[in-house]
Chains A and B, each alone.
Chain A
């Protein structure tokens, strides 16, 4: 059955491999994907270890519904202790690898130890081998995948790989699969590099069996029709996540020149329509009808020629607004470069934008940058610095250790200008006009992060009766209000935790579209696929269990309420630009703290953000770690 796929424990030090079925109890408590990965993380990673040591453990998990033909259900979760934050490391990646891993017979891989030589893991039809990767080491993320396919003589192999950045232990190196899909955040590529693990490659022809295959197939069609009927999905089908730029840059919700402005004037070239100049069509992940990325070709100009996919809205900020670059062509080229190196686009752009502001303020100078003129919009410096970060050369080597280390090294009040939480860079969104978003980035378990809880729905000004029904309590329909926003975050956290655990894409649930599939639809999908029954409230409780366990991991590593904070600038500097609703806004410290209190209370956590005994008992977490798998 679909829930009975195996878990494999692979020790790279001893080369010992153990295979076991995933017990049904684990499915009932954590579903799969991120849920089971978080259980494994809490149980297998000993407290206070060095994330780059062989004691860290890498977890790769496919979602419980991975493989079904709807809602982008091929996603894969990668976890470990994060070298960026020191807390929960977790990244969810689309593409085709997650589904292929299942067809190869496995749902979860637990990679321990460290290999003496560089290796890759080869998974095929129930078998696992650790193979030599000497010929792959040094290759970029795309070359690596191509070489693996050539070595095995099979074009349909899917691999999760690291680039040179991961090899060089850049703290925010990512894991990548296909041309574009990235497990970008929290430095999972760095953990792979620290284990001398270049790739995990999968190819499978094994059946995934379902409880009610015919009904499931029909319901999958219903789900695809449901998501594509929403305006957001249709807009994303055409423009990708770039479409968000149109809204945020007009309103004034987009970080510009690091954090000095909140929209990019003369930024027309970054508008989504301009991707048509380069696009040859869109591309979808496994089982996805939304196909939110472009396949693009840059034919002319200084960076041409090359082919790549994307860019995400994220890259428009990372290599556009935040560094004051106004040319789409430059963004595409920078996107291509970080993709090849295997760097998190968001962390890379965030750090470079910060460095540019420090350079402008004279906190760093030419001597420190090795002569790099880090002026706003200096393309040459941008590309050189990306290269230096990946290769750990010159000033890039300072940034390659992430915000925490770089702030300590540079000193001179540089930390004030860093837009980061728990050591991880924020997206290029400006949350000062939107308290709900601000609470989300402050509390997210993996550092400043929009994908743990972002309630994009807050932006629509929907009727409060509707919001009350959706969120199960009073929520203000004004996105600049603080009222009820803690509830919104709490609800989205649980939804996203479940979404990541069943292997479905967040864009195909209530992220941008209100009428997208959620609890009841997930419940029916799970039942038709696995035969297991979960009510809406049971699924919500699973979400709560996963999120609380992540919280417990961070607390065990020493995080406290003090870490659920925003950069100081959010409280001190009002937004200078934008529509009247977004202009002159900053976060009210007192209201923010009240929101945080409410948020803890909803979770059943103490004033200090520690889960109470009662809350733990209710979730069955009071005896963790229980070492069931």
Chain B
């Protein structure tokens, strides 16, 4: 079964190691502005949300790409840009509702997560496990357990004398 990139914003501590490691892996330089992942922060409310390509089942970027440069890698599940075909029109950036594709401020080319060929460096570095690369069933059960925990707290309150 294919793995998916599973994001749990509640666990994110906002350290931005994912951004740095991503840029070092892909661009061989340290530069969060050129990373494929970004932590959107609302600092004064303590809210940190990792923003990265979600590798949709029906990718909008693939649909809008006029040169068919975007395809899925069946092995890793990643929706990938073929830069040999990409003309840099940035329609994928424009249409993605999740900001999964961005623009490299230095080269102008489109930046998009490729799941590092099946071993995402951001996941490897994410100590609090806000980012995980797991099988779909595992992702499901993690969500379910979390929901059940909340339900269990509610039950305890109701049952309390």
Contact = CB atoms under 8 A, between A and B. Distances in A.
Given A221-B124, A281-B10, A291-B128, A205 B105 contact: yes
A69 B33 contact: no
Contact of B30 (A210, A214, A221, A291): A210
A125 to B, nearest CB: 9
Contact of A103 (B32, B40, B46, B121): B32
Interface of B: 10-11, 13-17, 20-21, 24-25, 27-34, 40-41, 43-46, 48, 105-106, 121, 124-125, 127-128
Interface in A34-71: 67-70
Contact of A208 (B15, B29, B43, B105): B29
B46 to A, nearest CB: 4
A208 B10 CA distance: 30
A224 B30 contact: no
Contacts of B10: 281
Contact of B106 (A155, A205, A289): A205
Nearest to B10: A281
Contact of A207 (B29, B125, B128): B29
Nearest to A74: B16
B28 A69 contact: no
B17 A69 contact: yes
Contacts of A209: 29-30
Interface in A75-115: 96, 103
Nearest to B12: A281
A285 B41 CA distance: 13
Contacts of B15: 284-289, 291
Contacts of B48: 283
A151 to B, nearest CB: 16
- Of listed B17, B25, B33, B106, residue having the most chain A CB within 10 A: B17
Contacts of A69: 17, 20-21, 24, 30, 125
Nearest to A284: B15
Interface of A: 2, 67-70, 96, 103, 142, 145-146, 155-156, 178-179, 204-210, 213-214, 216-217, 220-221, 224, 228, 280-289, 291, 295, 297, 307, 309
A145 B106 CA distance: 27
A309 B128 CA distance: 18
Given A208-B30, A210-B30, A287-B20, A281 B46 contact: yes
Contacts of A70: 17
Contact of B24 (A145, A217, A289, A309): A217
B14 to A, nearest CB: 5
B125 A307 contact: no
Contacts of B25: 217
A280 B16 CA distance: 19
Contacts of B32: 103
Contact of B31 (A96, A208, A286, A291): A208
A135 B34 CA distance: 33
Nearest to B29: A207
Contact of A291 (B13, B28, B33, B44): B13
Contacts of A206: 31
A221 B31 contact: no
Contacts of B127: 224, 228, 289
Given A224-B125, A280-B46, A285-B15, A103 B31 contact: yes
Contacts of B41: 155-156
13 contacts: A69-B20, A69-B24, A204-B33, A207-B27, A210-B30, A214-B24, A216-B24, A217-B21, A224-B125, A284-B15, A287-B15, A287-B16, A288-B13
Contacts of A142: 44
Output the residue of B10, B44, B45, B106 with the most chain A CB within 10 A. Answer: B44
Nearest to A291: B13
A516 B148 CA distance: 38
A293 to B, nearest CB: 9
Contacts of A179: 43-44, 46
A437 B124 CA distance: 39
B131 to A, nearest CB: 13
Nearest to B33: A205
Given A217-B25, A285-B15, A67 B34 contact: no
Contacts of B33: 103, 204-205
B16 A283 contact: no
B15 to A, nearest CB: 4
Contact of A210 (B21, B29, B45, B106): B29
Contact of B46 (A205, A207, A286, A309): A309
B31 A205 contact: yes
Contacts of B14: 283-284
A207 B31 contact: yes
B13 A284 contact: yes
Contacts of B21: 69, 217, 220
Contacts of A146: 44
Contacts of B13: 281-284, 288, 291
Contacts of B121: 217
Given A217-B121, A221-B124, 5 more contacts: A69-B17, A145-B43, A213-B24, A281-B10, A289-B127
